[in-house]
A and B are shown apart, each in its own frame.
Chain A
Amino acid sequence: YIHIINKADMAASKGLKILVGCKRVIDYAVKVRVKPDRSGVVTEGVKHSMNPFDEIAVEEAVRMKEKKLAGEAVAISVGPPQSQETLRTALAMGIDRAIHVEIPLAQLEKLQPIHVSKLLAKVCESEKPDLVILGKQAIDDDCNQTGQMLAALLDWPQATFASKIEPSQDSKQLRVTREVDGGMETIDVSVPAVVTSDLRLNEPRYATLPNIMKAKKKPLAKMSPDQLGVDLQPRQEVISVEDPPVRKAGAKVESVEDLVGKLREKGLVK
């Protein structure tokens, strides 16, 4: 399945310019608690870190640089002031420079993938990357939408749930292996393209301490949604956020006969 929209020859060029999206989310190890007013989850004072799928995206961009497939890697984060820390982590892992689209706190809770993808699309207009790599989904909302929406807005090809990215056989495109429900699908996409990272794409490196120190000196530019001309008016309203239902206790059975008997009792088998 081949898109032929653009004919960048990767082997001959200076390398792709990659834009990597990073989202600041509640750390995966935190026990998330619902706010008493059920309007959302508690984020105040809670440990946050880079979305794990975005770490994988950053790692892939850095590896492509090391393999000389990419020339420049830029990280971008749409979020509150603290998203800067997330960007510093990306810089410490080997990204060259960062862009922070700062969202005021009041609008943060109502921010949706549609808004983020519009902001990213605007940035792509000026940055002109050859490849955008995003995490397949964020672990806080599990939306799995931003990459797809971005590709649609830009009218670029998309290769989602990537578990491998390499040059195509003729080196003019990218060959992406995707993890799909039926197994693995391999497609060739022309650049510029949007790719979203899945779990098995790579294992992110630790940032070394010297790189963490150096990251402070790498450029970090700030932008606002107004500057980018994007309207953040929410399209959705969260009515309530609830805990999942408490798991009911099960029962232990001693034998297969008991099991079948119990299933019959509950009318689950005839």
Chain B
Amino acid sequence: MLNGILKTVQLVGSASRARLCSAPTELVGGISFKLSEEQQSLQELARKFTADEIVPVAAQYDVSGEYPWPVIRKAHSLGLMNLSLPKWLGGLELGVFDGCLATEEFSFGCSGIQTAILGNGLGASPLLMFGTKEQQKEYLGRLIEEPLMCAYAVTEPGAGSDVAGIKTTAVRKGDDWVINGQKMWITNGGVANWYFVLARSDPDPKTPAGKAFTGFIINRDTPGVNPGRKEDNLGQRASDTRGITFEDVVVPAKNVLGTPGMGFKIAMGAFDKTRAPVGAGAVGIAKRALHEATQYAMQRKTMGVPIAQHQAVAFLLADMAIGLETARLAVWRAAYEADCGRRNTYYASVAKAFASDVANKSASDAVQVFGGNGYNKEYPVEKLMRDAKIFQIYEGTSQIQRLIISRELLAAAMSVKS
């Protein structure tokens, strides 16, 4: 019954938002916030899919931790996965912005399921940017043909933020490379068909990061590849996160991405395309939090009136709205910069840092609006709090984002004559 309410409630929410934005179709003052017809169709399809296929099952996947294969297969059959893959491969070649639209919608339903779907975007990004046509055809083509997953395997037990500190080794043996090491917290780690793996190819500790690492594409079924157990996480429990051991894994030279030594640049380059969508995932949580809190506040009565009429509660909602609107626009700007072909590092970090904070605050405030009920699993908001936390950690911690932003702005400031 609750799921039925959720479904109705989400659709009503979109109607009220439509009332708020009857925007003009042309550029006004040189800028437009209006989505194109195609983007609106994509958003509508993603929204409908979320209401019909994700929302009704989200709570159950959160409890069981099972991988949401049925949802993934349905999304794949509708063309809602792998949006950015090129047309010559059979993809839709949509931009980062379009990916953000879909991601926000899925995340509204369940950010764990959304992360499972988006994991492909992160894994595919290095190949999209640096892969040869043969590599793209082989590995990205697979993703289009069937609902297969891939994963981005860089983080290790001893190195997350400190990518340059990873210890997985890649040693040349004839034409092949032999990979040894351990990766950790890899999204889709247990279900991936292939991995993008970063390993240290130059053992000399004095070699700079920009030359010491190599990126590889490694098939799951290569001997020596051992995903560990599925990790039992606080939130986004439908997503599959694992450690992976690489024991004398032999990788042919044709599976090297770019050239040996280029790995660090490739691994970091992927983030410019994926940070905005991760921000969009956070925006989805913020939107859901505001939505649930608003509906509850209109129904729950205390002191003889719906609690929405108490300013203390109404102000909580207002602050959630402030966060939601601004986080979304920050994400849109970052995505737009990427789609314009520009290096969007600064905007991507701003968007991701801000949106993840907004998601966490909104989710926490939503629990607050629900009061005692919010703390309980019968109501949907405690899950939002648990799901939101990871947005401040993965894809570059909030601290790393601030490092990036401060570096970028100081570099810009230093390049201007005072």
Inter-subunit contact A27/B15 (CB<8 Å): yes
- Chain B residues with CB under 8 Å of A210's CB are 79, 92
A41 nearest CB across to chain B (Å): 13
Cα(A216)–Cα(B18), bound, Å: 23
Q: Which residue of A lies closest to B53 (CB)?
A: A206
* Total A-B Cβ pairs within 8 A: 53
Q: With A208-B77, A208-B78 in contact, do A213 and B48 touch (Cβ < 8 Å)?
A: no
Interface residues as binary, B228-251 with A (CB distance below 8 Å gives 1, 0 otherwise): 000000000000000000000000
Q: How many residues of B contact A (CB 8 A)?
A: 23
Interface membership of A29, Cβ < 8 A: yes
B273 nearest CB across to chain A (Å): 19
Interface residue ranges of A84-100 to B (CB < 8 Å) = 85, 88, 92
From A29, A30, A47, A209, contact of B45 by CB (8 A): A209
Q: Which residue of B lies closest to A85 (CB)?
A: B37
The interface residues of chain A, by DSSP majority, are classed as loop
Binding site for B on A (CB under 8 A): 27, 29-31, 44-47, 85, 88, 92, 206-213, 216
Inter-subunit contact A207/B45 (CB<8 Å): yes
Inter-subunit contact B22/A44 (CB<8 Å): yes
Cα(A104)–Cα(B20), bound, Å: 25
The interface residues of chain B, by DSSP majority, are classed as helix
Cα(A216)–Cα(B15), bound, Å: 25
Inter-subunit contact B8/A212 (CB<8 Å): no
Q: Which residue of A lies closest to B74 (CB)?
A: A206
Question: What are 18 pairs between A and B in contact, CB < 8 Å?
Answer: A27-B15, A29-B8, A29-B15, A31-B15, A45-B20, A46-B15, A88-B37, A206-B48, A206-B49, A207-B41, A207-B45, A209-B42, A209-B78, A209-B79, A209-B80, A209-B92, A210-B92, A216-B37
- Chain A residues with CB under 8 Å of B48's CB are 206
Interface membership of B38, Cβ < 8 A: yes
Interface residues as binary, B1-44 with A (CB distance below 8 Å gives 1, 0 otherwise): 00000001001101100111110000000000000011001100
- Chain A residues with CB under 8 Å of B79's CB are 208-211
Cα(A216)–Cα(B38), bound, Å: 9
Q: Which residue of B lies closest to A28 (CB)?
A: B11
Inter-subunit contact A213/B18 (CB<8 Å): no
Inter-subunit contact B38/A45 (CB<8 Å): no
Inter-subunit contact A88/B41 (CB<8 Å): yes
From A30, A46, A92, A213, contact of B92 by CB (8 A): A213
